[in-house]
C-alpha cells in the first residue's frame, strides 16, 4: 500500500488484490461536496454621475503598488514587518484597492458608446483577511471583496455581497466579528460614494 497525504486528507493506493481496495478513495470522495451559501447583497442607487461615484470610492481607499507590497511581504521575516508594509497602503477607510476591471469597456466594444458603464473594484485589507482566514480558511475566497458600480436607467448602482452573509454558514463567531467590522467599513465607503 502507498499512502499520500495532503493537508486535510490522505489517499491510499492499494493493489487490486489487497482487501478493501478503493475504500479509502471512496471515503475521500464522500467527504467532498458543496456548501449552500445564501448571500446578502448590499445595494445603493445614486443620483450622482458615474465618474463622481468612482472618484469617491477611489478617494476612500489606498492605492499601493500591490506588486511591490506583496514582494516586500514575501521578504518580511516577522508579522510585525508585514503590518508595517501594509499600513502605508491603506486609505482613510483602512482599505486599499487591489485592482479594478472596466467591464463597461468590453460592453462598448459591442454596443458602442451607448453601452452602460460598469466598473468592478477589488477592495480590502490583507490584515483583515488574515484575521478571518485564521478562523475560516474559505474566507480567502471572498477577500478582497468585489464592489460593482454600474449605470442603469434609474441611476448609478453600487453593490457588494456582505462578508457576514458569506461567512455565516461556517458558524465561526471570531470570523463573523471581523466580517461585521469589514462590512461596516465597506458600507460606509459606499454610502459616502452614493
The CATH number given to whatever domain includes residue 186 is 3.30.310.70
Q: What is the mean pLDDT of residues 89-104?
A: 96
The per-residue pLDDT for range 157-169, each reduced to its tens digit, is 999 999 999 999 9
Counting the structural domains of the chain, the total is: 2
129: helix, strand or coil: helix
The per-residue pLDDT for range 124-156, each reduced to its tens digit, is 999 999 999 999 999 999 999 999 999 999 999
47 and 17 inside one domain:
no
* pLDDT value of position 13: 39
The pLDDT confidence band at residue 194, using thresholds 50, 70 and 90, is: very high
Which ranges of the chain does DSSP label H, i.e. alpha helix?
Answer: 23-31, 50-60, 66-75, 79-86, 103-111, 126-133, 163-167, 173-193
pLDDT > 90: percent of the chain: 79
Among 6-10, 33-37, 38-42, where is mean pLDDT lowest?
A: 6-10
80 and 155 inside one domain:
yes
43 and 22 inside one domain:
no
Determine contact, residues 124/143, Cβ cutoff 8 Å.
yes
* pLDDT value of position 35: 79
Domain that holds residue 92: 38-193
For the whole prediction, is pTM greater than 0.85?
no
Q: Return d(Cα 191, Cα 194) in angstroms, integer.
A: 5
19 and 74 inside one domain:
no
* pLDDT value of position 61: 98
11 and 60 inside one domain:
no
50 and 127 inside one domain:
yes
107 and 167 inside one domain:
yes
97 and 184 inside one domain:
yes
93 and 172 inside one domain:
yes
Burial class (CB in 10 A: 0-12, 13-18, 19+), 168: middle
17 and 112 inside one domain:
no
Q: What is the mean pLDDT of residues 21-42?
A: 69
Output 178-185 pairs: Cβ under 8 A, ≥24 positions apart. 178/128, 178/131, 178/132, 178/135, 179/132, 179/139, 181/128, 182/124, 182/125, 182/128, 182/132, 182/143, 182/145, 183/42, 185/93, 185/94, 185/95
Alpha carbon dihedral 191, 93, 42, 137, in 10-degree steps, equals 180
3 and 80 inside one domain:
no
Residue with the larger pLDDT of the pair 28 and 170: 170
Q: Return d(Cα 161, Cα 182) in angstroms, integer.
A: 12
107 and 90 inside one domain:
yes
The per-residue pLDDT for range 55-80, each reduced to its tens digit, is 999 999 999 999 999 999 999 999 99
pLDDT > 70: percent of the chain: 84
Residue 102 reports pLDDT greater than 50: yes
Amino acid at each position: 500500500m502507498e499512502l499520500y497525504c495532503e493537508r486535510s486528507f490522505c489517499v491510499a493506493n492499494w493493489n487490486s488484490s489487497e482487501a478493501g481496495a478503493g475504500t479509502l478513495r471512496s471515503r475521500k470522495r464522500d467527504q467532498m461536496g458543496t456548501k449552500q451559501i445564501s448571500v446578502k447583497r448590499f445595494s445603493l442607487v445614486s443620483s450622482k454621475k458615474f465618474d463622481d461615484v468612482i472618484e469617491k470610492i477611489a478617494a476612500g481607499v489606498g492605492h499601493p503598488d500591490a506588486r511591490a507590497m506583496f514582494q516586500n511581504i514575501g521578504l518580511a521575516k516577522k508579522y510585525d514587518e508585514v503590518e508595517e508594509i501594509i499600513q502605508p497602503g491603506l486609505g482613510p477607510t483602512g482599505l486599499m484597492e487591489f485592482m479594478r476591471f472596466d467591464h463597461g469597456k468590453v460592453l462598448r466594444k459591442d454596443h458602442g458608446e451607448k453601452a452602460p458603464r460598469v466598473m468592478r473594484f477589488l477592495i480590502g485589507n490583507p490584515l483583515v483577511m488574515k484575521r478571518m482566514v485564521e478562523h475560516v480558511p474559505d474566507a480567502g475566497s471572498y477577500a478582497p471583496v468585489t464592489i460593482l458600480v454600474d449605470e442603469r436607467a434609474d441611476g448609478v448602482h453600487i453593490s457588494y455581497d456582505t462578508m457576514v452573509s458569506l461567512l455565516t454558514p461556517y458558524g465561526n463567531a471570531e470570523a463573523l466579528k471581523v466580517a461585521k467590522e469589514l462590512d461596516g467599513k465597506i458600507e460606509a465607503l459606499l454610502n459616502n460614494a452614493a
